[in-house]
Amino acid sequence: ELDANLAAAQREATSAFGDGRVLVEKHLPAVRHIEVQVMADAHGNVIHLWERDCSAQRRHQKVIEEAPAPGLPEDLRLRMCEAAVKAARQVGYVGAGTVEFLVPVSLDGFYFIEMNTRLQVEHPVTELITGLDLVALQLRVASGEELGLVQENIPLDGHAIEARLYAEDPAQGFRPQTGEITQLRVPQANGLRFDGGVREGDSITAYYDAMIGKLIAHGPSREAARARLARAIGETQVTGLATNLGFLARLLGDPGFVEARVDTQFIDRSLDDLNAPLKPPLAVLGVAALAMEKRFSAPASPSPFHHLRGFALWGSDAQTIRLRLGSESVAVLLEEKDVGFSVTQAGETLNFSLLRVEPPHAWIETEGRVLHLDYHDDGEAFVVTLEGDRYHFSREKSAGVEESASGNRSIVSPVPGLLAKLIAPEGGEVQAGDIVAVVEAMKTEFALKAEAEGTVTFLAREGAQVKEGEVIAEIGAGDG
């Protein structure tokens, strides 16, 4: 994969810096990403505000950050902090900055990566353990004031963990999502903070990062902060588009994370478990079954002709509905009651009623709770989003129906973004699995691969802005 990755790195470097040269560095196979927050003024004063552990990453983008770094030996912590202060002082740095290191999981040293000369997304965890306002410090330094802080007096109080709430679909390779945020509800409690850049009714577009906000929890210990954040994630509601809320909940509860056994490859290694096909709640199965029977609408009439229930001389009037969830077949028993419906699957039954349906939103009541779902129905598939997790249903195919062996011959963009590179030549031959084009969205490149062999015909130009689902190219059947 070297050639393709080298070309991608050169494109990004050329675009960002006008210089496509690359460096070859020592490979460190198992490392943690630990960074030190520094602050310096124009009077020669430089201090550190302890370190943060940002090892929980996907696509080399941070997902969870915490301070201080769990399990870090005190002598190593002090050596790293001193090295960061020395680096900032040596270059005459002024302002807030972050000196980033890679630390082998063996904890036998540390390696410099880079210095970010700005305030970073994860600065709230540092604020919560030090009690300092980093933005206020930046403004004071920028106006020429002295820091007025002494290193020995910088506190380290408890533990803080931050989770980045993204509009993305983790089950689809963390694909960025666009659309309107129809509901945004974040719990408020002591030890909990939310930094958001959008409000209910705002839209996430393809032109900016897909982060909705940051949930940060502080506690006297790491476990107290983790438990508080996990509880807040479970109580947060975002509707209108898919988010990583469910993924964050599973990540925070993963035994490896609970025990602080996290390196930069942790999420990649655990991805199958973190993104394992979720068992849909019975409420979701009931809604999907109603949708497949074309009965998904709020009750508008008491007329018996608007009900599923019919006259039968004997037996139950319940219907068995077969759904496909991804590659799995799910059979549910749906029965209309005097009030609402019941859904049964694998021996479990849930009674629920439809309160209101206003596409793409629906409200159902079950067991004394009101659930707000989002859905999309295109006639063939039905997608339900509940509490951040998205479930893709389709009607089970009849026996004897087979997929075409030739594969999909349309190459479509999975996200709205920039068509950064056409890899295959126009009119050239490709094989199944060959990369045809590259789409760039929100600092991430998506390689579009051919699913069949044949001749390439491009329908979009390199450098064009493309929409999600837009056909980029067609693969014509070969001569063979």
Q: How far apart are CA 41 and CA 141, in angstroms?
A: 5
pLDDT score, position 331: 84
Instruction: Measure the CA–CA gap between 238 and 386, rounded to whole angstroms.
Output: 9
DSSP class of 278: P
For 7, the enclosing helix (H) or strand (E) is helix 2-17
Kindly indicate the confidence band of residue 479, based on its pLDDT and cuts at 50, 70 and 90: low
pLDDT at 316: 45
List phi, psi (to 5°) of 203. Answer: -115, 145
Q: Is the pLDDT of residue 311 over 70?
A: no
Q: What integer pLDDT is reported at residue 396 of this predicted model?
A: 65
Place of tokens 């209309």: 336
Long-range contacts of 398-402 (CB under 8 A, 24+ apart): none
Phi, psi of 84 (to 5 degrees): -65, -45
Query: What pLDDT does residue 312 have?
Result: 44
Q: Is a pLDDT exceeding 60 seen at residue 288?
A: yes
pLDDT at 88 over 70: yes
Read off the pTM: 0.71
Say whether the peptide bond before residue 68 is cis (omega within 30 degrees of 0): yes
Local structure of 166: helix, strand or coil: strand
pLDDT of residue 314: 41
Q: Is 118 assigned a catalytic role?
A: yes
Q: Who has greater pLDDT, 467 or 475? A: 475
Give the mean model confidence (pLDDT) for residues 314-319: 56
Catalytic annotation, pick one of 59, 79, 118, 309: 118
pLDDT band at residue 86 under the 50/70/90 scheme:
very high
Which two tokens mark 375? 């859905």
Percentage helix, strand, coil for the chain under 3-state DSSP, each rounded to 5: 20, 35, 40
What pLDDT is recorded for position 239? 79
Residue 380: predicted pLDDT: 66
pLDDT for 151 equals 96
DSSP per residue over 442-463, as a string?
A: TTEEEEEE-SS-EEEEESS-TT
- Which range of 121-130, 234-243, 379-388, 448-457 scores highest in mean pLDDT? It is 121-130
Q: Residue 318 in contact with residue 334, Cβ under 8 Å?
A: yes
Task: List phi, psi (to 5°) of 139.
Answer: -65, -40
DSSP assignment of 88-113, as one string? Answer: HHHTT--EEEEEEEEEETT-S--EEE
Cβ atoms 106, 95 nearer than 8 A = no
Per-residue pLDDT of 395-435, as tens digits, reads 764 333 233 334 567 888 888 888 999 999 988 899 988 99
Residue 410 to residues 392, 448, 468, 469, 479: CA-CA distances in angstroms?
Answer: 21, 10, 13, 10, 18
323/288 Cα distance (integer angstroms): 8
Residue 295's pLDDT is what? 72
Q: Give pLDDT, residue 409.
A: 79
pLDDT 10s digits, 229-246: 998 988 888 878 888 998
What b/e string do you get for 124-144 counting C-beta neighbours within 10 Å, with b at 16 or more? bbbbbbbebebeebbebbeee
| pLDDT band at residue 160 under the 50/70/90 scheme | very high
Rounded CA separation 279/25 (Å): 43
Please state, in angstroms and rounded to a whole number, the distance separating the CA atoms of residues 323 and 95. 57
Q: Quick one: average pLDDT of 463-479?
A: 82
Q: Which pLDDT band, with edges at 50, 70 and 90, does 369 fall under?
A: confident
Rounded-to-integer distance, Cα 314 and Cα 328, Å: 33
The pairs formed by 70-73 with CB atoms below 8 angstroms and a separation of 24 or more are 70/159, 70/222, 70/260, 71/107, 71/260, 72/34, 72/103, 72/107, 73/107
User: Does 154 or 452 have the greater pLDDT score?
Assistant: 154
Average pLDDT for 124-135: 98
Confidence of residue 208 (pLDDT cuts 50, 70, 90): confident
Start-to-end CA span in the chain (Å)? 29
- Report pLDDT for 422: 92
Q: How confident is the model over 10-29, as a mean pLDDT?
A: 90
Q: How far apart are CA 207 and CA 210, in angstroms?
A: 9
Per-residue pLDDT reduced to its tens digit, 326-343: 667 788 888 888 888 999
pLDDT at 145: 97
Residue 306 pLDDT > 60: no
pLDDT by residue (tens digit) across 182-192?
888 898 999 99
Q: Using CA of residue 204, residue 205, residue 206, residue 208, what is the dihedral sign?
A: negative
Instruction: Provide the percentage of residues in the chain whose pLDDT is more than 70.
Output: 90
pLDDT at 385: 79
Over pLDDT 90: what percentage of the chain?
50
pLDDT at residue 178 tops 50: yes
Q: Phi and psi (nearest 5°) for 296?
A: -85, 85
Mean pLDDT of 341-358: 89
How far, in Å, CA of 411 to CA of 433, rounded?
Answer: 12
The mean of the pLDDT values for the chain is: 86
